[in-house]
Amino acid sequence: MVEFDDAFRQHLRELFVWRRDVRRFRSDPLPAGAIDRLIETACLSPSVGLSQPWRFVTVDDDARRRAVIDDFRSCNADALNAYVGERAARYATLKLSGLEQAPGHLAVFADKASDIGHGLGRATMPETTEYSVVAAITAMWLAARAEGIGLGWVSILSPDRIHAILDLPSSWKFIAYLCIGYPEIECDRPELEQAKWEHRRGADEFTLRR
Ligand SMILES: Cc1cc2c(cc1C)N(C[C@H](O)[C@H](O)[C@H](O)COP(=O)(O)O)c1[nH]c(=O)[nH]c(=O)c1N2
C-alpha cells in the first residue's frame, strides 16, 4: 500500500504546471538508457483491454532523421500557405519543432492488428487503441519532465511518409513523432501563449453540467 501526502500532491501539481512542449533543445546528449526508461514508464499507462497497443521506434539513423526533417519542412510550408495576413505572418515566426537539435527522436505508433487484450473495449470504439497510445505519450511527457528532460510532439508531418521512411508494418498507425532532449529554458507557460498565438483557458470554459 502506498500513500501520497499533501506535499507530494503539491509537488505533482508543479510537475503538471512545469511540463512543456519543448522545441528548443540544448545539444548535450541524454544519459544512456534515458529513452528506454521513459518507454518503460509509458508502458505502465492505461490501455483499452490491457492491449498495450503502443509501439515505440527510436530513430537514430541520420538518413532517416534527415528525411523526417525534410517532411516536416514540406508540411510546415503547406501549413503556412493555409494562413493569410497577420495570422500567416505570426505563424511564420513560430518554432514548431526541435527536430534539428533534439538528441533523441522517438516515433510512436498504435498497432491496430494486435490481438493483445482480445478486443475488450474496442468493439464499438476501435479508436480506443489510438487513445491508449496518447495516454502513454502523456505519461512519458510527465516522466521526462520529472527527470529534467524535455519532450516536443511534432505532428506537422505526413503519416504515410513517416511510415515509409521508417519501414514499419502496415497495421501500425502513426500517432506521434517526439523530440527528446534537455530544454534550453524552463517555463510555466506554453510557448504558443508567450508567442501570442493562443492563450490557455480555464477549466470552467470546457465544463458543462447536465
Ligand atoms: C497531439 C499534439 C500534437 C502537437 C502538439 C501537442 C499535441 C497534444 N504540440 C504541442 C502543443 O502546441 C502544446 O502542447 C500546446 O501549445 C500547449 O503547450 P504546453 O504543452 O503546455 O507547453 C505541437 N507543438 C509544435 O510545436 N508542433 C507540433 O507539431 C505539435 N503537435
Q: What is the pLDDT, as a whole number, of residue 96?
A: 98
> ipTM of this model?
0.99
Pocket probe mutation, ligand 1, options 78, 155, 178, max atoms within 8 Å of Cβ = 155
Task: Give me the pLDDT at residue 154, please.
Answer: 98
What is the DSSP secondary structure assignment for residue 209, as one 8-state letter? -
Establish whether residue 145 lines the binding site of ligand 1, counting it when its CB lies within 6 angstroms of any ligand atom: no
Query: Which residues does 192 contact at the CB level (< 8 Å), separation at least 6?
Result: 94, 198
What confidence category does residue 14 fall into, taking pLDDT thresholds of 50, 70 and 90?
A: very high
Closest residue to atom 28 of ligand 1, CA basis: 154
Which among 153, 178, 185, 189 is the best mutation to test ligand 1's pocket, defined by most ligand atoms within 8 Å of the CB?
153
Q: Kindly state the cell numbers that stand for 194.
A: 508567450
At residue 83, the pLDDT reads: 98
Chain segment 48-63, per-residue pLDDT in tens: 999 999 999 999 999 9
pLDDT per residue as tens digits for the range 106-115: 999 999 999 9
CA distances (Å), origin 169, targets 58, 137, 155, 179:
15, 20, 20, 22
pLDDT band per the 50, 70, 90 thresholds, residue 130: very high
Pocket flag, ligand 1, residue 97 (CB < 6 Å): yes
Q: How far away, in angstroms, is 113 Cα from ligand 1 center?
A: 28
- Would you state the pLDDT for residue 160? 98
Average pLDDT for 167-190: 98
The amino acid at 175: I
Q: Provide the pLDDT for residue 136.
A: 98
